[in-house]
């Protein structure tokens, strides 16, 4: 019982992060055994900014190691975030807030998305990058969303 309460407390202390929904994928390299190497497109909503959805495309390694979750995925990723409704903030935003994080190797490598607020230009900026416990990668991608009034489409 004490262990369960401790785990629950730990989970509640973790920052609120988005979870991704797979939109689609394409195969890039055929593998005889295990899944093929592929590019996956995922979407997630910003947990602290209502009305913003981000789309990530990234490589996923296949084969036996990839099928078992033991392969290390490449560091490259692409991101595009869009306003999909009225923008409303759910609490205070800090520059560099982690919005999304996913493991890209068995232990030491992660891909993450962080958010910045450019107050001067009234714009949300999202950065995707990969890091490793010992050494990260300078490869990154950035996207920006101007904070504008939302005008619903008339049908």
Q: How far is CA 74 from the centre of its chain?
A: 15
Identify which has the larger pLDDT, 6 or 10: 6
Among residues 140, 138, 113, 98, which one has the least CA distance to residue 55? 113
Residue that is written with structure tokens 């101007």 in the block: 146
pLDDT at residue 8, as a whole number: 41
Asked whether residue 31 carries a pLDDT value surpassing 70, the answer given is: no
Residue that is written with structure tokens 């950035």 in the block: 142
Q: Among the listed ranges 17-31, 75-89, 123-137, which one has the minimum average pLDDT value?
A: 17-31
Q: Model pTM?
A: 0.74
How many residues does this entry show for the chain? 155
pLDDT at residue 62, as a whole number: 62
What is the arithmetic mean of pLDDT over 26-40? Answer: 72
Asked whether residue 73 carries a pLDDT value surpassing 80, the answer given is: no
């Amino acid at each position: 019982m004490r262990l369960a309460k401790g785990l629950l407390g730990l989970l509640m202390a973790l920052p609120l992060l988005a979870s991704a929904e797979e939109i689609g994928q394409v195969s890039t390299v055929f593998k005889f055994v295990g899944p093929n190497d592929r590019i996956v497109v995922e979407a997630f909503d910003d947990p602290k900014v209502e009305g913003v959805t981000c789309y990530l495309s990234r490589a996923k390694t296949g084969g036996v190691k990839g099928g078992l979750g033991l392969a290390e995925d490449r560091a490259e990723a692409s991101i595009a975030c869009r306003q999909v409704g009225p923008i409303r903030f759910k609490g205070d935003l800090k520059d560099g807030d982690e919005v999304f994080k996913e493991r890209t190797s068995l232990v030491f490598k992660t891909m993450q998305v962080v958010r910045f607020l450019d107050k001067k230009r009234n714009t949300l900026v999202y950065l995707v990058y990969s890091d490793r416990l010992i050494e990260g990668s300078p490869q990154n991608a950035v996207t920006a969303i101007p904070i504008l009034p939302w005008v619903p489409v008339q049908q």
